[in-house]
Structure 1
Amino acid sequence: MAKKKTAYVCTDCGSDHSKWQGQCSDCGAWNTLQEFVVSAAKTPARDASLGGYAGAAGTQGIQRLADVDLAEVPRISSGMQEFDRVLGGGLVPGSAILIGGHPGAGKSTLLLQTMCALAATLPALYVTGEESLQQVAMRARRLNLPTDQLNMLSETSVDRLLQLLQQHQPKVVVIDSIQVMHVEGVESAPGSVSQVRESAAALTRYAKQTGTILLLVGHVTKDGTLAGPKVLEHMIDCSIMLEGDGDSRFRTLRGIKNRFGAINELGVFAMLESGLKEVKNPSSIFLSRSEEPSAGSVVMVIWEGTRPLLVEIQALVDDSHFGHPKRVAVGLDQNRMNLLLAALHRHGGVMLGDQDVYINVVGGVKVNETAADLALLLAALSSFRNQALPQDLIVFGEVGLSGEIRPVPSGQERIREAAKHGFTRAIVPKANAPRQPLQGMTVIAVETLQQALAQL
């Protein structure tokens, strides 16, 4: 009997190690190595029905790059414009999509609504391994969804599932979730690195060979990252995260990886009694401000994917009653905030070293770009001086360590979006100022941080 071979895979970077150790030597993460059973290599069998070897992604042979067919890949609408936006325009046949999110975020609700809409025109199959068929049927009835055309299956065995897929040949398949699926012959429990890796590989291989749209539901860890091996993200074509707090009715769908569209695309939904409803104008939600001006609040324009969003940033600066002042940033990088506060002291003459600084982006939006630098500093200064900024003012721009205001991409599109929502004044980098004056909008172009502070 052959001896079982094991390896240890890092869940953060996917690197293999021959023995367990506390720290991954490749990425430096601690306590991320999990045991992985290495199965013996098998020679793929010839399958004439698939036009090649079972397990091969394609058998067209070697081609020159100039001879590759450039026909546009057909896309299928999911029935929700916000979902299609994150996917890059719709569902692509033969693609594998991984949807992650915290428990209760609405992953199953979103996919059930999508599948019920697609089942009217395409053969669709919803495979549930965590919930019973009665639980899914009760959710569909509560959401008043059409249930006549959608096929359901309760199964956790990948081998049995592949046999049923070959018989019925659906065009869209949902696996809820990949952590409960298991492959025969892999000596580990469902949810382990070995089972998740092999299950995802087998299902993705089938989707590529048959042109089936595969939607996988993935769990997340405590820090919000997708559970399982990092190589799982390399197998699939699109990885998206459904984010949202349990006490908020709004959910954001963000694209992390997409081979068929732009990454960091953002879709906004509202969780209602009838399910997830797409929000056509997200800026109107994030701008629900009080009528009375308040210190420490300013509106900035961020760029998410292919569209601008107007978001309010709030700051609270207060005297520190302890030896070490607190620095808390929600929705922004805290290290970036510390860097900007140092630039404010050096080039703006405002000392906040003995103050507690709290920064919050309203609406639960996570800002990953540097266009929020100038708005962060002006909001902090407004709270420190206890002087409210104008309600009709929008601010964006990157602040450098030498005090210069650097331009950001799509500056003029941001200004036009702010003008549509009734803003009349804008403080922007000089390189982003429009060449032609905009009607009803006063644009103040600045080059340094001192000029921006002088305008206030």
Structure 2
Amino acid sequence: MAKAKSAFVCTECGAEYSKWQGQCSSCREWNTLSEVRLAPARPGAAAASTTGRSGYAGIVSREVVDLAAVDLSEVPRFSSTFGEFDRVLGGGLVPGSAVLLGGNPGAGKSTLLLQTACKLAQQKKALYVTGEESLSQVAMRAHRLQLPTQGLKMLAETSVETILAVAERERPEVLIIDSIQTMHLDDIASAPGGVAQVRESAAALTRFAKHSNTVLLLVGHVTKDGSLAGPKVLEHMIDASLLLEGGADSRFRTLRGQKNRFGAVNELGVFAMLEHGLKEVKNPSAIFLSRSEELSSGSLVMVVWEGTRPILVEVQALVDDSALGNPRRVAVGLDPNRLAMLLAVLHRHGGLFTGDQDVFLNVVGGVKVLETSADLAVLLAVVSSLQNRPLPRELVVFGEVGLSGEIRPVPSGQERIVEAAKHGFTRAIVPRGNAPKSSPPGMQVIAVDKLAEALEAL
């Protein structure tokens, strides 16, 4: 009998080592190596790999072809029945793809996939495998959400071998696993949810999806720091990794792509959690612009670019005298390190000192702004709060701020201005490089080169 081999895998970056060590040499993290028992090679595996029969249909080719002769026809897709879901996926579900959906407990992962499965089952064969809930619990949720339940095949199982046998018999077009952390393989000697079980279970399910041309949707848990639980190599096996964000106290959920082989990774889908489940939001700017009727200092609207569309969001700043020796810098929805850098630029090139002030920033609606086009809006909101002078409600701002105080242009500036004009804004402070040749009707565009010019324009 062959001796079982093992390897040590880093749960942060997926690097493998032959023996345990305290620090991962790749990502420099400490105590992140976990032992993974490697299954012994099956008889005939080498022969199968040399002849091309490895189970990865459509990936392993026995013939060498010229790149110019590869068919460039569009990858076949079909809709998930949610427009916002399709947007983040890059246009819809691709047969033979593996998609991982992660999120905090209560974010709505199971609700979103159950709604998707029930609607898809009306036109395609779908199999929903639940490893955390009983069939009666899933049926009660579907009844509460008033979903069509005819046609959806259900299976309560955690054994991957049993799931694959059922899927081989049923031949579904869509296979949903809820969740991957509860799945286990019989020949892996570790508990479900461990590094070895998650890795090998996902690999086996992904092989079946590629071989049978089935869409595989996996639900993944999220750790305390917001990253997907399990080994990082899980993200290398799959084709798309999506994260559903939103606290239990918020009505809105945002679906963001972290990896996508069939589309852009910076797309953002917005959903509203209602009594009957998740409902897609067609116009996200409208919900993020529900401002107070009374003018207040420190409030300003900016235009951020998410994937293929602009979104208007409100940023709020509060600057107050600090009672501490080290003033606080708190940013919710923005990078705190970038906030500290922008405050230094404001002092050097704007002449406004905030070294003895607490500075708090918040992006309304729970949106996380990852691009630098929010720099100018953040600084102007801080100035408004520092001087206790409200800004005009019809003003919108965007632009990147450099360390020398210059205002740099950002991508898709014309589209941002047009989107702001659609929502009734009449004044815009933008980088000179984004100034349009002809402004939209009713819109006054103020182009600036330096931070001092932007402060004068206020």
- TM-score w.r.t. length of structure 2: 0.97
Q: Distance in 2 between matches of 1:177 and 1:151?
A: 17
- 1:213-265 Cα offsets, whole Å, 9 max, x none, are 00000111110001111111011111100000110111000011111111111
Structural mapping, 1:107-186, within 5 Å: 107-186=109-188
Displacement after TM superposition at 1:59 (Å): 3.1
- 1:12-411 superposed matches below 5 A: 12-42=12-42, 43-44=44-45, 52-55=53-56, 57-411=59-413
Contact 1:344 1:377 in 2 (8 A): yes
1:13 corresponds to which letter in structure 2?
Answer: C
Asked if the contact 1:86–1:266 (Cα under 8 Å) also holds between the matched residues in 2, the reply is yes
Asked whether the equivalents of residues 130 and 156 of structure 2 are also in contact (C-alpha less than 8 Å), the reply is yes
C-alpha contact (below 8 Å) 1:44/1:54 kept by paired residues = no
1:441 is matched with: 443
Asked if the contact 1:407/1:432 (under 8 Å) is kept, the reply is: yes
- The structural deviation recorded for 1:34 is 1.6
SS of alignment partner, residue 411 of structure 2:
coil
1:60 CA drift (Å): 4.7
Could you list the structure 1 runs, at least 4 aligned residues long, displaced by more than 4 angstroms after superposition. Answer: none
CA offsets 1:272-294 (integer angstroms, 9 cap, x no match): 11000111111011000011111
CA distance in 2, matches of 1:239, 1:347: 41
Distance 2:298 2:102 in 1: 34
Shift of 1:100: 0.3
Aligned residues of 2:2 and 2:40 also touching (Cα < 8 A): no
With 155-164 and 138-147 compared, the bigger mean Cα shift is at 155-164
**Aligned residue for 1:4?**
4
Query: What displacement does 1:46 show?
Result: 7.7
Gaps of 5+ in 2: none
Amino acid at match of 1:132: S
Q: TM-score, normalised by structure 1?
A: 0.97
Q: What code does the residue aligned with 2:248 have?
A: G
CA contact (8 A) 1:371 1:398 kept: yes
Q: Aligned in 2, Cα 1:134/1:45: closer, same or farther, shift over 3 Å?
A: farther
Q: Match of 1:95, as an amino acid?
A: S
CA contact (8 A) 2:4 2:40 kept: no
1:45–1:147 distance in 2 versus 1, CA, 3 Å? farther
Aligned-partner SS, 1:438: coil
Name 1:416's counterpart in structure 2: 418
| Per-residue deviation, 1:36 | 1.1
**Amino acid corresponding to residue 331 of structure 1 in structure 2:** G
Please provide the CA RMSD for this pair. 1.5
Give the fraction of aligned pairs with identical amino acids, expressed as a percent: 69
- In structure 2, give the amino acid aligned to 1:227: A
Is the contact between residue 56 and residue 210 of structure 2 (CA under 8 Å) also seen in structure 1? no
Secondary structure, aligned partner of 2:45:
coil
Question: Alignment length, in residue pairs?
Answer: 454
SS of structure 2 residue aligned to 1:137: helix
